């Protein structure tokens, strides 16, 4: 195994996570690629160019090249319009490989269904296995929609079914995602492997909370209830704000020491009303406690997590929930919705608290437990650090490399059958 073609069509690993379409998948692609390169595997990441000013090739790390593919207008295309550019994108990916010696790539690893469509074509053209990571699935999202969100279109459902059928091997983030692939998409169980994403434990680590708070202009004795992620209905930051409203109604004295950082930018259907969360904050009378922080770098995100009393992850669905794992690695307990991969990432009662549903009263009750019981918060913080050690990118890369070899075996067996 010498070289991997990584396809991330709709979002570049170079983009800042936390806004637009950039999020946990961006982190996943770049961190996995870096760890594969550290093991001697060259990685080329193909992504759609979104500006004429972007160079054709950027070295993201030693052994990792990001290749910007021109497909459609550079700016103004929404994710929903990208299926119309699949042919143009695939043509340019095939052309990039055609100038290389035969057998240049050993495997194609695609991320999200749009990339999987291109990956399936490359698989057949190059005669190499296709490994695919879904990251999110339309059928799962449509079963657990946030109020006011838009259902995923039928075209995506059909496209995902085609990718599942074409892939030699599917990588699921959790056991639950593997079951969903099998039960909802008829994936062959023998072609699904569970590999958890990782956390950069050198970045997301315990820090001196008092010092970090001083550096972020946070009172050292504050109750800091934080949300980090893309601001869209799926991620449900409104649930945290409504819960905070309940907390303050129950105990007005909390207001003087409460800070609620919302770290991230609008994304997805949240782009239609980017001001909606600020409006909700005003309607609830929370303008004096809520701080809206633009998307930040990974090191700065680690500082915000380390400064928090708790990090809230109230999503309606998560295939994994990377920010929950990252927060826990800093020693901060997580209060998360008991959905999807969050039930794997957060160990209820050990590294954080899981909340059934999205009722503001229930969320306020869970947050109140941490506010009122410093001993519990400290115990969960210790458990969070311990639990986060189970997720490392080095381990993810080792298992993924093994999955690539498994995919080659499955492809050979299929061709010889």
Interacting residues of 255 by C-beta distance below 8 A, sequence separation 6+:
248, 288, 289
With 60 as the cut, is the pLDDT of residue 415 above it? yes
Average pLDDT for 204-211: 96
With 80 as the cut, is the pLDDT of residue 382 above it? yes
Q: CATH classification of 3-198+393-415, choosing from 3.30.70.1730, 3.40.50.300, 3.40.50.2000, 3.20.20.370?
A: 3.40.50.2000
Q: Would the annotation count 79 as a binding residue?
A: yes
What is the reported pLDDT for 112? 96
Average pLDDT for 377-388: 97
Q: State the pLDDT confidence band at 19, using cuts at 50, 70 and 90.
A: low
For the ranges 20-29, 236-245, 320-329, which has the lowest average pLDDT? 20-29
Q: Would the annotation count 359 as a binding residue?
A: no
Q: Would the annotation count 26 as a binding residue?
A: yes
Average pLDDT for 136-144: 91
Helix axes 154-166, 112-126, angle to 10 degrees: 40
**CA-atom Rg of the chain in angstroms:** 21
With 50 as the cut, is the pLDDT of residue 380 above it? yes
What is the reported pLDDT for 271? 45
Q: Would the annotation count 316 as a binding residue?
A: no
Interacting residues of 97 by C-beta distance below 8 A, sequence separation 6+:
5, 104, 105, 122, 125, 126
User: Could you read off the pLDDT of 250-293 as tens digits, one per residue?
Assistant: 999 999 999 999 999 875 544 444 588 999 999 999 999 999 99
User: Could you read off the pLDDT of 233-258 as tens digits, one per residue?
Assistant: 889 999 999 999 999 999 999 999 99
With 90 as the cut, is the pLDDT of residue 18 above it? no
Alpha helices in 169-308 (DSSP H): 175-185, 209-215, 237-250, 276-283, 298-307
Q: Would the annotation count 385 as a binding residue?
A: no
Q: State the pLDDT confidence band at 352, using cuts at 50, 70 and 90.
A: very high
What percent of the chain lies above the pLDDT cut of 90? 82
Q: Would the annotation count 188 as a binding residue?
A: no
User: Could you read off the pLDDT of 82-95 as tens digits, one per residue?
Assistant: 998 999 999 999 99
Q: Exposure string (b/e) for 203-241, b if CB count within 10 Å is 16 or more? A: bbeebebeebbeebebeeebbbbbbbbbbbbbbbbbbbb
Contact 111, 137 (CB under 8 A): no
The model's pTM = 0.89
Residue 169 tokens read as 């091997």
More confident residue, 140 or 79: 140
Which residue's entry shows tokens 């009263």? 361
Q: Would the annotation count 136 as a binding residue?
A: yes
Mean pLDDT over all residues of the chain? 93
Q: Would the annotation count 21 as a binding residue?
A: yes
Q: Would the annotation count 172 as a binding residue?
A: no
What is the reported pLDDT for 16? 67
Q: Would the annotation count 16 as a binding residue?
A: yes
Laid out side by side, the sheet with 258-263 consists of: 290-293, 258-263, 223-228, 310-313, 334-337, 352-355
Cα–Cα distance measured from residue 339 to residue 356, given in angstroms and rounded to the nearest whole number: 8
Identical topology for domains 3-198+393-415 and 209-389? yes
Contact 8, 373 (CB under 8 A): no
Q: Is 390 strand, coil or helix?
A: coil
Q: Would the annotation count 142 as a binding residue?
A: no
Q: Would the annotation count 10 as a binding residue?
A: yes
Average pLDDT for 202-227: 97
Which residue ranges make up each domain of the chain? 3-198+393-415, 209-389
Q: Would the annotation count 407 as a binding residue?
A: no
Q: Would the annotation count 76 as a binding residue?
A: no
More confident residue, 69 or 76: 69
Q: Would the annotation count 48 as a binding residue?
A: no
Q: Would the annotation count 200 as a binding residue?
A: no
Cα–Cα distance measured from residue 404 to residue 4, given in angstroms and rounded to the nearest whole number: 9
Q: Would the annotation count 387 as a binding residue?
A: no
Q: Would the annotation count 23 as a binding residue?
A: yes
Cα–Cα distance measured from residue 73 to residue 281, given in angstroms and rounded to the nearest whole number: 36
Q: Looking at mean pLDDT, say which of 48-52, 267-271, 294-298, 394-398 comes out highest.
A: 394-398
- Provide the CATH topology of domain 209-389: Rossmann fold (3.40.50)
* CB-neighbour burial class of residue 45 (10 A; exposed 0-12, middle 13-18, buried 19+): buried
What is the reported pLDDT for 22? 60
What is the reported pLDDT for 270? 43
Contact 343, 362 (CB under 8 A): no
């Amino acid at each position: 195994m010498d070289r991997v073609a990584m396809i991330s069509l709709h979002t570049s690993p170079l983009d800042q996570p936390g806004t637009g379409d950039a999020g946990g998948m961006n982190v996943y692609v770049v961190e996995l690629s870096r760890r594969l390169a550290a093991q001697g595997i060259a990685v080329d990441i193909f992504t759609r160019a979104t500006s004429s000013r972007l160079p054709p090739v950027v070295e993201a790390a030693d052994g990792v090249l990001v290749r910007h593919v021109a497909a459609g207008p550079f700016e103004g295309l929404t994710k929903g319009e990208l299926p119309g550019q699949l042919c143009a994108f695939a043509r340019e990916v095939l052309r990039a490989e055609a100038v290389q010696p035969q057998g240049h790539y050993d495997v194609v690893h695609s991320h999200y269904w749009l990339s999987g469509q291109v990956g399936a074509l490359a698989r057949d053209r190059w005669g190499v296995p296709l490994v695919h990571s879904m990251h999110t699935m339309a059928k799962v999202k449509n079963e657990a929609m946030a109020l006011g969100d838009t259902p995923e279109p039928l075209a995506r459902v059909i496209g995902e079914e085609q990718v599942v059928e074409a892939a030699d091997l599917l990588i699921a983030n959790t056991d639950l995602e593997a079951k969903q692939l099998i039960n909802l998409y008829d994936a062959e169980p023998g072609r699904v492997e569970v590999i958890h994403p990782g956390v950069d434990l050198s970045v997301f680590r315990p820090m001196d909370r008092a010092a970090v708070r001083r550096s972020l202009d946070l009172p050292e004795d504050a109750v800091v209830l934080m949300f980090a992620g893309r601001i869209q209905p799926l991620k449900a930051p409104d649930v945290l704000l409504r819960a905070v409203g309940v907390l303050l109604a129950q105990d007005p004295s909390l207001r003087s020491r409460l800070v609620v950082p919302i770290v991230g930018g609008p994304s997805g259907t949240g782009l239609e009303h980017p001001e909606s969360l600020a409006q909700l904050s005003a309607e609830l009378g929370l303008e004096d406690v809520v701080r809206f922080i633009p998307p930040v770098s990974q090191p700065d995100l680690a500082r915000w997590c380390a400064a928090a009393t708790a990090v809230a992850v109230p999503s309606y669905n998560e295939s994994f929930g990377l920010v929950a794992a990252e927060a826990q690695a800093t020693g901060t307990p997580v209060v998360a919705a008991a959905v999807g991969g969050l039930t794997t990432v957060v160990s209820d009662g050990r590294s954080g608290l899981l909340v059934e549903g999205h009722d503001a009263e229930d969320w306020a009750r869970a947050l109140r437990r941490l506010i009122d019981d410093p001993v519990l918060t400290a115990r969960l913080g210790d458990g969070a650090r311990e639990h986060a050690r189970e997720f490392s990118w080095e381990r993810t890369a080792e298992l993924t490399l093994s999955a690539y070899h498994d995919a080659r075996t499955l492809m050979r067996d299929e061709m010889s059958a």
